Structure 1
Amino acid sequence: MSEPLAERLRPRTLDEYVGQKHLVGEGAVLRKMIDAGRISSFILWGPPGVGKTTLAQIIANKLQTPFYTLSAVTSGVKDVRDVIERAKSGRFFSSNSPILFIDEIHRFSKSQQDSLLGAVERGVVTLIGATTENPSFEVIRPLLSRCQVYVLKPLEKEDLEELLHRAVSTDIELKKRHIELRQTDAMLRFSGGDARKLLNILELVVEAESGDDVVITDDKVVDRLQQNPLAYDKGGDMHYDIISAFIKSIRGSDPDAALYWMARMIEAGEDPQFIARRIVISAAEDIGLANPNALLLANAAFDAVMKIGWPEGRIPLAEAVVYLATSPKSNSAYCGINDALALVRETGNQPVPLHLRNAPTSLMKNLGYHDGYKYSHDYPGHFVEQQYMPDALTDRRIWHAQHSPVEEKSYQQMLRCWGKRFEE
């Protein structure tokens, strides 16, 4: 049985590498380091199938340095330490530090990441990490400070078309058939900028044809993919369609549909952190002040998933999803911050009123800083009317209540405090 097409076509040199010209094109930052023969530790951040692993392997081949690979899904602290010990002995055979490539580094625990620090600091290994998640949130700060982060982009249409034509014209297996790429729009659309997904689709369609002559059309691609109802790509169009259906089902108060779409993601191998993160966002955006406990429960579900993992993590996520879907809805906070940002962009940096400014020095006091400020807790009901908005924006309203039972209490409190200013 031959290797998958995506593996057979994996580039071996930078000249064969498709896409990411901003990093490896002529004169680009990574290209300069590679050509100079020395690289520092870095993290490649980008969606699936854009060449993170391939790029790391090309760099190791180009520099002729030992290359060690760990997967954050299957490796523990002991595996990290074993590789570092092997890298120390391998250093004698190369002037460059051995490269340690860690796939899905965002899944490494804090202790696993801590175990890397010393080796990276001393140059025992040059770390190349690959992640589909924002490293600012997923990589510990001491390790992140020792690594440059390079962002990889989804492949452009031209890159994907180049890859398709290269596949049918150079691959040893595909050359045995007569393949005509009559239409490619559907393949490009379903790939979502993911080279591996694109080649998998091509291979799937070709293998479905019985004869040596294969004519690829958009209808044929769509028909073939629809025969695989669990087809789901964590970086492609279906990924975004399903997460969109999931969020809209919560927003639309349909717990059955919300659970169904979450099950689709779970069954397809979606990262539980991604699902949990979207649930927390939905709690704040769509349920909001109508039920503030929703955000607390969503955040607790996120923490539970991080502690217990899969498959049990599906249970607190399901609890949160049903709670959110069946809760009353309000997006007043979401609309409020968006309107505030729009106002800031429209009006620029308005000065803070003098009475709201602190006055830690005598000069500031002489200039009127803090003069006239009224301390709310000194007044009945812990409220006293005074100006908080900039002078030019005193008449502008930003937050508008949506009158669910819980949010109505907040609105009535604002009416008691500010009177007509908050009348709708």
Structure 2
Amino acid sequence: MNLLELVCSTAKDTIEVTNALVMDVAQKKVALYDKSGEQHYDIISAFIKSMRGSDPNAAVYWLARMIEGGEDVKFIARRMLILASEDIGNANPNALLLANATFDAVNKIGHPESRIILSQCAVYLATSPKSNASYMAINEAMAAVNKFGDLPVPLHIRNAPTKLMKNLDYGKGYKYSHSYDNNFSEQEYLPETLSGTAFYDPGNNARENELRNYLKKLWKEKYGY
């Protein structure tokens, strides 16, 4: 299907698909990019690492290599969507929004116009501030789950839909944050074993430095922010 799209994209008006035409396009396009071989993985790796490394020039070059080779545009957009969260995260939350919009757009707009949308997104991601803090946070939290198992939920933040649960002190002492100044009430949300554990360590960028200062103001020295 990708090869057929490439063949059709060579026509300015109507086109007769012949063996000769298909072979000509395949030799010029597909031979440059083996989607089932090692080169496929090398080029997508180069593309991702170029954006992670903040090089928009290299990013659009490797993007062009994939487009010229007939790579599935949804595959490209999907990888950018992952990068937007893994490598940019809260340093620039808009990156995830644009990457998601790009994924939706390329599903609506096929080859060759989708190249424009992919290029815009790739350049934006490459030139964005970077942070992998959220990615590292979930990895650390999952490691804690695997290490400590099913730690009990503190009683005061348990759900208490029945009288029996209330009698067992489920929900007792819970402070509704919105009833306090600045919509914040200091209380424990982690299991006792993990109290004071900071899984999220904000990155060193303008947006997350603001988040760090905000968390430090709220939690004082509890999490070491």
Please say whether Structure 1 and Structure 2 have the same fold, judged by a TM-score greater than 0.5: yes
Q: Which residue of 2 aligns with 1:370?
A: 171
Larger radius of gyration: 1
Counterpart for residue 198 of structure 2 = 397
Question: What letter is aligned with 1:401?
Answer: P
Closer/same/farther in 2, CA of residues 315 and 72 from structure 1, 3 Å limit: closer
Equivalent residue runs for 1:81-96 within 5 Å: none
1:277 maps to what in 2? 78
**Is residue 2:103 matched to residue 1:288?**
no
> In the aligned structure 1, how far is the partner of 2:60 from the partner of 2:2?
28
Aligned pair 1:382/2:183, yes or no?
yes
Decide whether aligned partners of structure 1 residues 73 and 355 sit closer, same or farther in structure 2, where only a CA change above 3 A counts: farther
CA contact (8 A) 1:354 1:368 kept: yes
Indicate yes or no: 2:41 matched with 1:245: no
Q: How does 1:60-71 map to 2 (within 5 A)?
A: none
Identify the residue that residue 301 of structure 1 maps to in structure 2.
Answer: 102
Residues 287 and 331, structure 1, Cα contact 8 Å, conserved in 2:
yes
Count matched residues.
201
Q: Is the 8 A contact 2:198 2:224 kept in 1?
A: no
TM-score (norm 1): 0.46
Preserved CA contact (<8 Å) 1:233 1:239: yes
Q: Is 2:207 aligned against 1:409?
A: no
* Bigger relative CO (Cα 8 Å, ≥ 6 apart): 2
Identity %: 57
State whether structure 2 residue 150 is matched by structure 1 residue 349: yes
* Deviating 4+ runs (over 4 angstroms): 71-74
Instruction: Report the RMSD for the aligned CA atoms in angstroms.
Output: 1.9
For 2:126, which of 325, 330, 333 is the aligned residue?
325
After TM superposition, give the deviation of residue 73 of structure 1 in Å.
Answer: 9.4
Which one is further off, 397-406 or 232-241?
A: 232-241
Instruction: Report the equivalent of 1:112.
Output: none
C-alpha deviation, 1:403, in angstroms: 2.0
Aligned to 1:262, what secondary structure does the other structure show? helix
Residues 235-274 of structure 1, C-alpha deviations (whole Å, 9 max, x = no match): 2211111111000000000000000011111111111100
C-alpha deviation, 1:391, in angstroms: 1.3
1:420 matched residue in structure 2: 221
Who is 2:159 aligned against?
A: 358
SS of residue in 2 equivalent to 1:421: coil
Deviation digits for residues 334-384 of structure 1 (CA, Å, limit 9, x no counterpart):
111111111111111111111111111111011110011000000000001
Secondary structure in structure 2 of the residue aligned to 1:401: coil
8 Å Cα contact 2:2-2:70 kept in structure 1: no
Residue in structure 2 matched with residue 266 of structure 1 by the alignment: 67
1:201-256: per-residue Cα shift (whole Å, max 9, x none)? xxxxxxxxxxxxxxxxxxxxxxxxxxx99532222211111111000000000000
Query: For 1:169-198, what per-residue CA distance to the aligned partner results, in whole angstroms no more than 9, with x for missing partners?
Result: xxxxxxxxxxxxxxxxxxxxxxxxxxxxxx
- Report the CA distance between 1:421 and its aligned residue: 2.2
The structure that is strand-richer by fraction is: 1
Secondary structure at the counterpart of residue 36 of structure 2: coil
Alignment of 1:114-263 (within 5 A): 230-263=31-64
Q: Please give the alpha-carbon distance, in whole angstroms, between the structure 1 residues aligned to 2:155 and 2:222.
A: 22
Q: Is the 8 A contact 2:59 2:126 kept in 1?
A: yes
Query: Could you give the per-residue CA deviations for residues 288-310 of structure 1, whole angstroms, max 9, x where no partner exists?
Result: 11111111111111111111111
Deviations 1:7-60 (A, max 9, x none): xxxxxxxxxxxxxxxxxxxxxxxxxxxxxxxxxxxxxxxxxxxxxxxxxxxxxx
CA separation of 1:261 and 1:281: change in aligned 2, threshold 3 A = same
Match of 2:22 in 1: none
Shift in Å, 1:72: 10
Residue 108 of structure 1 aligns with which residue?
none
Contact 1:230 1:264 (C-alpha < 8 Å) held by counterparts: no
- Following superposition, the deviation at residue 387 of structure 1 comes to 0.3
Larger deviation: 247-256 or 308-317?
Answer: 308-317
Cα deviation digits, residues 108-135 of structure 1 (max 9, x gap) = xxxxxxxxxxxxxxxxxxxxxxxxxxxx
Residue 423 of structure 1: how far off its partner (Å): 3.0
Q: State whether residues 197 and 223 of structure 2, in contact with CA within 8 Å, keep that contact through their aligned partners in structure 1.
A: no
Q: Which amino acid aligns with 1:311?
A: P
Which consecutive residues of structure 2, in runs of 5 or more, have no partner in the other structure?
5-28
